[in-house]
Amino acid sequence: MEKADAIVIGSGQGGNPLARDLAKRGRVVLIERDHIGGSCINYGCTPSKAFLGAAHNAGRARRAKNLGVHASVDVDFPFVMNRVRDIVGSFRDGSTKRLSDASVEVVHAEASFTGERVVKAGDVEFTAPLVVINTGTSAAVPNVPGLAQTPYLTNVSFFAQTTLPERFLVLGGGYIGLELGQGMARAGSKVTIFHNGDRVLNNEEDDVSKALQESLSEDGIDVVLNAKVSRVSFAGGVFTVELEDGKRFEGEQFLVATGRKPNTEALHCDRSGIGLDDRGFVKTDAQFRTSCDGVYAIADVSGQPAFTHVSWEDYRRMTDILAGGKRTRDDRVLGYAVYTEPQVGRAGLTYDQAIKKGIRARKEELPLGEVARAVEWGQERGFYRMVVDQDTDKIVGATLVGYEAAEIVHVFIAHMQAGSTWKTLDESVHVHPTYCEGLPSLARLFEPT
């Protein structure tokens, strides 16, 4: 058995920098069963946003008619996907080099525990006083009759596509299904999205779903709501999706985007006394400690909001905790975005979440039609909403739907981190004409009448 000072399992967005930092003080072994960089770089954020970089440009060009611009759009799909893979390759090479420069020992194998803080990778067993699990999640595939016998796509195989399918079917109206589905429509496929709820993106507020559904429909996407898929088959290069109500749909490609499951099966956590919850996520306390001394779990696999910036932040918190600090997994303003068109930007709590937490919350909205820049740019679909705690006047959350909402939401993240009240935002002088100029106007709506 080989002794190390630390073992990191999985090269996710938190595990990589943590391994590099720990390697300054001792022998660090990082075990990865797939590509370096985890899902973000290889199968998640990087390829999806590189793909959308092309797809949304095509979509915006087509929609420029309302500005008097009549573009004929021709998407070179093989070029688009090669560019996506080139960007992935360069990001992956960068991560690999940084680990090597930091003298992290990378072992390319699947890791599994064989005892307390003992991890087997290939033929070698390693032990260390510190083990960090950063194994992430993978696509959860539902148990639909026939599906397993078809060559369906997941977020992993999606980015290996080389030809544009004429018809593209998507199972799942969450953010991955919507981003990739809208992207494929904008690249030129006829897209159908099947969703088992009564509105897409149903973790968000109703009017967010409504704005998105209108926009998807403008892109020619059919969204089948309350869809109960009874069978999927594949013959002669064509997928057939049958619904319980007897409707049938066909397409040349079929993407399954119905949620994520934790990568814990191969780990055999029980052999190291590490507890899992009933969905298979590693149970941790607020400082990432598992039920086994010296073993920590960070990011997606510990059931936290599954975002790259959360994983990266976990690394910074772990660094503090290992040095005896008091940081926890909860000491943050959580923000995230959905990169559809229009985009969705979220920070902190929604109004309903705030009320459920017992906050005396108040919300106000500003439609984008009242923001000069949105009118001038022809991007009026959407709204800005802010939620305030009436007892303290502090901003506790925001929902933005509209052009580049993923960028604009950072104004709220910064204000919330600083503990600002709506009055501070109201008094801020924002540049004219910008989308952000709408935010002090939104804050002004909280002025008592």
Ligand X SMILES: Cc1cc2nc3c(=O)[nH]c(=O)nc-3n(C[C@H](O)[C@H](O)[C@H](O)COP(=O)(O)OP(=O)(O)OC[C@H]3O[C@@H](n4cnc5c(N)ncnc54)[C@H](O)[C@@H]3O)c2cc1C
Interaction site with ligand X (CB under 6 A): 9-14, 31-34, 38-40, 43-45, 48-49, 110-111, 134-136, 155, 176, 263, 266-267, 299-301, 306-309, 311
What is the closest distance, in whole angstroms, from the C-beta atom of residue 38 to ligand X in the complex?
2
What is the closest distance, in whole angstroms, from the C-beta atom of residue 393 to ligand X in the complex?
30
Would you say 334 or 361 has its CB closer to ligand X? 334
What's the number of CA atoms in the CB half-sphere (13 Å) around residue 199? 14
As a whole number of angstroms, the distance between CA 258 and CA 115 comes to 34
What is the closest distance, in whole angstroms, from the C-beta atom of residue 397 to ligand X in the complex?
18
Q: Is 172 helix (H, G, I), strand (E, B) or coil?
A: coil
Alpha helices of 103-200 — where are they, by DSSP H? 175-187
For residue 306, which amino acid is it? Answer: A
Beta partners for residue 231, in sequence order: 242
What is the closest distance, in whole angstroms, from the C-beta atom of residue 307 to ligand X in the complex?
3
Would you say 173 or 438 has its CB closer to ligand X? 173
> In this chain, which residue has its C-beta nearest to ligand X?
136
Would you say 99 or 354 has its CB closer to ligand X? 99
Would you say 137 or 420 has its CB closer to ligand X? 137
Would you say 175 or 384 has its CB closer to ligand X? 175
Which contiguous run of DSSP H or E holds residue 367? strand 361-367
What is the closest distance, in whole angstroms, from the C-beta atom of residue 260 to ligand X in the complex?
7
**At 33, phi and psi to the nearest 5?**
-95, -10
Q: Which residues contact 332 (CB under 8 A, 6 or more apart)?
A: 310, 313
Is 109:274 a contact under the CB 8 Å cutoff?
no
Would you say 176 or 224 has its CB closer to ligand X? 176
In this structure, the number of other CB atoms found within 10 A of the CB of residue 182 comes to 25
What is the closest distance, in whole angstroms, from the C-beta atom of residue 96 to ligand X in the complex?
12
Q: Which residues contact 312 (CB under 8 A, 6 or more apart)?
A: 13, 14, 17
Q: Residue 420's closest CA among 387, 395, 390?
A: 395
What is the closest distance, in whole angstroms, from the C-beta atom of residue 109 to ligand X in the complex?
7
Would you say 110 or 437 has its CB closer to ligand X? 110
Q: Which residues contact 319 (CB under 8 A, 6 or more apart)?
A: 18, 21
What is the closest distance, in whole angstroms, from the C-beta atom of residue 212 to ligand X in the complex?
16
Would you say 13 or 350 has its CB closer to ligand X? 13
As a whole number of angstroms, the distance between CA 183 and CA 340 comes to 8
Is 111:120 a contact under the CB 8 Å cutoff?
yes
Beta partners for residue 107, in sequence order: 31
Question: Taken in order 256, 258, 260, 266, is the CA torsion positive or negative?
Answer: negative
Would you say 127 or 233 has its CB closer to ligand X? 127
Question: What do you get for the CA distance between the two ends of the chain, in Å?
Answer: 72
What is the closest distance, in whole angstroms, from the C-beta atom of residue 12 to ligand X in the complex?
2
Is 11:30 a contact under the CB 8 Å cutoff?
yes
What is the closest distance, in whole angstroms, from the C-beta atom of residue 42 to ligand X in the complex?
7
Would you say 348 or 438 has its CB closer to ligand X? 348
Question: Cis link prior to 433 (omega < 30° from 0)?
Answer: yes
Q: Max alpha carbon distance in the chain (Å)?
A: 72
Question: Taken in order 303, 347, 199, 40, is the CA torsion positive or negative?
Answer: negative
